[in-house]
């Protein structure tokens, strides 16, 4: 079990989900707009906090995307 009470921001950045949006690519969006990574730190900033539910949802989503798309 990971103790998120003692995690640094650098460690939050190490948990990432790779996103690729093919429709945006089809519409000739910039590469930064259709292929990017979102980190747990980004989600923390969006939510304004890092509760166990939010961290758990991110980690479950990370594992699900790895299983589905790798």
pLDDT, tens digit (0-9, with 9 covering 90-100), for 11-45: 777 889 998 899 999 999 999 889 999 999 899 88
Residue 55 falls inside a structural domain: yes
37 part of a folded domain: yes
Q: Per the domain annotation, does 5 fall within a domain?
A: no
Q: Within a domain: residue 7?
A: no
Q: What is the model's pTM?
A: 0.71
Q: Tell whether 1 is covered by a domain.
A: no
For residue 51, the enclosing domain spans 14-69
Asked if residue 6 belongs to a domain, the reply is: no
Total structural domains within the chain: 1
Whether 1 shows a pLDDT value over 60: the answer reads no
- State the DSSP string of 4-53: GGG--HHHHHHSEEEEE-HHHHHTT--HHHHEEEEEHHHHHHHHSS--HH
Identify whether 24 is part of a domain. Answer: yes
């Amino acid at each position: 079990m990971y103790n998120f009470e003692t995690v640094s921001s650098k460690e939050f950045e190490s948990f990432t989900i790779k996103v690729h949006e093919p429709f945006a690519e089809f519409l000739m969006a910039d590469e930064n707009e259709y292929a990017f990574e979102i980190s747990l730190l980004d989600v923390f900033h969006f939510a304004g906090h890092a509760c166990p539910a939010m961290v758990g949802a991110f980690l479950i989503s990370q594992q699900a995307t790895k299983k589905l798309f790798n």
